[in-house]
Structures are given as structure tokens and as C-alpha cells.
Amino acid sequence: MNFIHVFLLVLVSFTSFLWAKTSYYILPVQFEGVHEDYAKTIFHLTKEYIENEGDEIVSNKSDCDFLLQIKLILKEKGVAVVFEKMNDSGEILWSYSHIAYSPERFVPIVKRVVRKMNAWENEFICGFGFGAMGLISLNRFVDYNYEPFIQFNVESFKLAMDLDIAYLGSKPKGVRGSMMGISFSVAYMFGHRFVVPYLGAGMNYAIFSTEIEKEVEKMYGVKVKEPFSETGHTPGYFLEMGLSMKMKNEIHIMLESRYFRELYKQKDIFDGSKSIVHGFSVMVKFGV
């Protein structure tokens, strides 16, 4: 299977996750010192605005991504409205509280809660990735690459800096080489599940080095093999898409695919022609 097929397979998987909705199960509203109608009102408002955001309310507790507990508590100056977002084991992941001075204040409070509830927590992640890289041009290289990285998740955006390292020596046979670069990317994360698709773009700067052995005729017709090498460097850009999975132990696993293209032409070590370096990569990343 070539890299085009892999890229298309990842794309199909990506789009299926892209349209998946985050599902909530709203637990019975807990109320203290207020009329039961207030509980019914806050329940229906929350359901309406969650669905307006493109997510869904499920009727079966076992089918949800998150549990949502709403509490109404009468205070001296009004009603305390408390929202608690929990995982399936009941652990509180996020909470918010606000005083409603009248029932009319329920609407802006629910709007704010639904918007904030669906934002990712700010996170700092560092880790290591490995995968395969295929160059379509200059030459059809296929080999392994490694990628230490640091990443910031700010609400629904993923900001990342990667150190790209690749050793080119598997295909074509007899060619040795390496690539080292640094890249910066910004991606948007769709949804708020523990498995989240993302789509983004970035810029990189890479240094390439390739080496082959050529047969050279010396004095008296003696033929010997001597190494020839080419080096080059160029900025470039890439498009990326992937799936980010957050485990319960706070370990992040990311499946990522990129199409990259450098800006300046590089010299082909075989025939001396020049062309733009471009290709695909697929990678698995682990971060904490």
C-alpha cells in the first residue's frame, strides 16, 4: 500500500470522527429551597442549548460521553446555579456556579455554561512520536522518522513545535541520508470527546543530506566506488490531520498524517536535476 492509499484511508477515518457528536446524560436536577418548576426550566434550557451547539442529550446513561449534574440552591440574594461535568465514573472534570437573581437570568447563565463546558482545558504536553515518511520527489524514499515534540492545547486549538528527524536508507537501495528539521503548527480540534479529530497547518525548516556510492574509473582503467553526497536546506509548509486520544491516566495518543512540501528546489544526487521535495508522513505520538 503506497502513501496515497494510506492518506486516503486516514482521511476517511478522519471525516467519520469529524461528524461525531459529544453526548451528555443530564442527571436529575438537585434543588434546595426552590420550586420544582425551576428545575424543569433549567433542565429544558440546558438540553436546548447543548443541542443547538451540535451535541446531543441521550436518554441512556451508559451511552453518554459525559454526565451533567445541575444543582439549584436558594441563597440570600438569589438562586445558586451549579453545573458539574463528570466522566462515566462520576469524577468531576469541570464545574461552574453563578447566582441567578431571577428566573430570567437562567438563559444567559446556561448559554455561558454550554459554551465554556465545550472548551478544552488548557494543557501542556510533551512527548515523542515515530512513524514513516515517504518522499514523492526528489526520489521515492520511504523510511522511518522520529519526532520529539511539545504541545499546548488552548481551548479548541493545538499549538505544537516538533523536532523532525528521519534516516533515509531503506529505499531506494544504496542511498543513505538523513533529514533534520523543526516545525511549528496550529490545528483546530473538532469536538470535546476523549477521541477528537483535528485539522491544521504549519511551517517547517529542514536540512537534507544524501549520499551514494558511484563507480569511478581511475588510472589504468581501475574502477573503484567512491562516496558522493549532496546537502540542502529549505523552508516549507505542511497540512496535517489526526486523531487525539486522551487516556484516563492523562496519557495522550495521537495518530497524525501530514502532506509536506518544501519551497525551494533541491538537487537530485542521481542525475543533477532539481525539483521540489514533497511527500507524506504518518505517525503515532505519545505525550504526557
The pLDDT tens digits of the residues spanning 71-120 come to 999 998 899 999 999 988 888 888 999 999 988 899 999 988 887 776 66
Residue 179: its pLDDT value, please? 80
Listed as ranges, residues in the chain with pLDDT below 70 are 1-21, 118-121, 137-142, 168-175, 191-193, 220-221, 248-249, 269-270
Residue 288: its pLDDT value, please? 86
Residue 6: its pLDDT value, please? 52
> Is 200 exposed, middle or buried (CB count within 10 Å of its CB: 0-12, 13-18, 19+)?
buried
3-17+122-287: CATH topology is Porin (2.40.160)
Among the four given CATH numbers 3.40.50.10070, 3.30.2400.10, 3.30.70.20, 3.40.109.10, the one describing domain 23-117: 3.40.50.10070
DSSP state of 62: G
Calpha distance 207→237 (Å, rounded): 14
Calpha distance 45→114 (Å, rounded): 10
The pLDDT tens digits of the residues spanning 39-59 come to 999 999 999 998 887 788 998
35 SS3 class:
coil
Calpha distance 151→158 (Å, rounded): 7
Residue 1: its pLDDT value, please? 46
Treating both helix axes as pointing N-terminal to C-terminal, what angle do 106-117 and 36-52 enclose, rounded to 10 degrees?
A: 40
Looking at the chain, the domain(s) classified CATH 2.40.160.20 span 3-17+122-287
Contact 175, 210 (CB under 8 A): yes
Looking at the chain, the domain(s) classified CATH 3.40.50.10070 span 23-117
Residue 136: its pLDDT value, please? 74
